[in-house]
Structure 1
Amino acid sequence: MIEVIIVEDDPMVAMINQQFVERYGGFRIVATVRSISELWNVLNKNKPDLILLDVYLPGETGIEFLQNIRQKQLSIPIIMITAANDIPTIKKALEYGVIDFLIKPFTYERFKLAMEKFSHYYSLTTKLKEADQETLDQILTKEGKPSLHSDDDLASTLPKGLSKLTLKKILRVVEQQTSYFSTEDIAKLIDISRISTKKYLLYLNELGYLREELKYLTVGRPITVYQIAPENEHVIKSFK
């Protein structure tokens, strides 16, 4: 799962951020800290995939931290979640390359958009070794590939027994996988039965969105594993 650190000195806001992350799914919170010094203590032991960062913190600010990690040439995607709404602060955060900037108070729907943006970035940058212009545009502008998480991207009708909401959840988790995965792997991540998960993976395989292979084990029968088929990612457009 994608590992996240929450940096927030307000316990109530930190709890809300945690609830939103858990509600979105596919992410694991490895630490919640209240200052940049505490954050460095965690980073010295574990580099997360994403940091949710406040600006106004005791001691060093979130903006100063951004400047510091750029100087150290550390590459860690960051989403700013802060009450800071002045243009100079926003400008600095964007110049330092944050994934998104959320101004408190914010809704879950806005938080979801930020997480979808990061998930899209994470999926592309962890699966590919090089990119053509179309792929790069997907990262920079999100053009060329429709989001897999909006209602408009899913078909209004699905095969009997399949749920639109469950399919969206499975797609979200599948996008985050960087290597072959099994039905059991996905079932554990989204906490539904292996039998139900298998139906959705078979459906995505029939569409051509996934490709399957047999993985031979040292003991017992081989298992079926899946991976997104890069050459057929466009088939998801059939959900529109």
Structure 2
Amino acid sequence: MIQVLIVEDDPMVAMLNQQFIEQIDQVKIVGNVKNVEQAMTILKEQPVDLMLLDVYLPGMTGIEFLAEMRKEKIETSVILITAADDVLTVKKAINYGVVDYLIKPFSFERFKLAYERFIDLRKITGKEKVTNQSMLDKFFLSANEREQEEQLDLPKGLSRLTLRKVAKSIEQIKQPFSTEDLANQILISRISTKKYLLFLVEIGYLTEEIEYREIGRPVTLYQSNPSFTASIERYQ
């Protein structure tokens, strides 16, 4: 559940922001306040994942509040929502690391894009200790740049359709599996299955280890690598 704090002194805008947030799943509004004093109290009392922050607020501007948050080492992500469209304000907001900058009035579709940007950032800076280029590109590249990065060529002999089938089957397997296990599930030859498994190991999507058994040859077992689940996306 994503904890969201709204900081907006205009009641109509505050209500609109809340209505937008309530249209998104797995989100909880922990406060809808009118000034930075109330906001700071909530930030110090409970975890807040995302703050929707206005610039023009009584007592202290949103930009000044961002500076105060950084001094207090509060790392809550911020989407700035404001009528301020001057370059200096935008530059300061960027320097303080806001996730996005929305100029009033804006549509729900644009708001949702800002929220998705926050989710992308949260994924690449969350609990995992490592990331990968595919995950980073989702956040840092524009839509056009991401499109150009998509659909990377597969090694000769592999097809996207079969790769999607292999990946879907792997997602359903909850324990380490062998080439034979997967081949039996997707109903293609072990030789073909092995080619896809070797490719997925190469891009980091799978890890492999050898299991030595009392009888028979050692068996190579494969397992999904949680840190690199996005590495397959540009090949499908």
Same fold (TM over 0.5): yes
> 1:128-143 maps to which residues of 2 (within 5 A)?
128-141=128-141
Q: How much has 1:58 moved relative to structure 2?
A: 0.8
Equivalent-residue separation in structure 2 for 1:128 and 1:69 (angstroms): 25
Quick one: structure 1 residues 55 and 82, their matched pair in 2 at CA, closer, same or farther if it must change by over 3 Å?
Answer: same
What whole-Å deviation, never above 9, does each CA across 1:70-110 have from its counterpart, x for those lacking one?
22332111000011111111111111110000000000110
Q: Secondary structure at the residue paired with 2:125?
A: helix
Runs of at least 5 residues in structure 1 that lack an aligned partner in the other structure: 148-202, 214-226
Match of 1:159 in 2: none
Equivalent-residue separation in structure 1 for 2:126 and 2:58 (angstroms): 34
> How many residues end up aligned between the 2 structures?
171
Residue 85 of structure 2 corresponds to residue 85 of structure 1: yes
Contact 1:211 1:229 in 2 (8 A): no
Letter in 1 for 2:14: A
Q: How much has 1:142 moved relative to structure 2?
A: 6.5
Match of 1:33 in 2: 33
Equivalent-residue separation in structure 2 for 1:3 and 1:72 (angstroms): 19
Q: 2:230 aligns with which of 229, 233, 238?
A: 233
Residue 168 of structure 2 corresponds to residue 206 of structure 1: yes
Q: How much has 1:36 moved relative to structure 2?
A: 0.2
Equivalent-residue separation in structure 1 for 2:173 and 2:121 (angstroms): 22
Contact 1:52 1:79 in 2 (8 A): yes
Equivalent-residue separation in structure 2 for 1:207 and 1:57 (angstroms): 53
Residue 3 of structure 2 corresponds to residue 3 of structure 1: yes
Letter in 1 for 2:48: P
> 1:52-131 maps to which residues of 2 (within 5 A)?
52-131=52-131
Quick one: structure 1 residues 77 and 232, their matched pair in 2 at CA, closer, same or farther if it must change by over 3 Å?
Answer: closer
Quick one: structure 1 residues 56 and 18, their matched pair in 2 at CA, closer, same or farther if it must change by over 3 Å?
Answer: same
Aligned-residue sequence identity (percent) comes to 43
TM-score by length of structure 2 reads 0.63
> 1:149-168 maps to which residues of 2 (within 5 A)?
none
Contact 1:4 1:30 in 2 (8 A): yes
What whole-Å deviation, never above 9, does each CA across 1:208-233 have from its counterpart, x for those lacking one?
457646xxxxxxxxxxxxx9944443
Q: How much has 1:235 moved relative to structure 2?
A: 4.7
Contact 1:8 1:32 in 2 (8 A): yes
Runs of at least 5 residues in structure 2 that lack an aligned partner in the other structure: 148-164, 176-223
What whole-Å deviation, never above 9, does each CA across 1:36-67 have from its counterpart, x for those lacking one?
01111111211300100000011111010011
Contact 2:20 2:108 in 1 (8 A): yes
> 1:187-226 maps to which residues of 2 (within 5 A)?
206=168, 208-209=170-171, 212=174
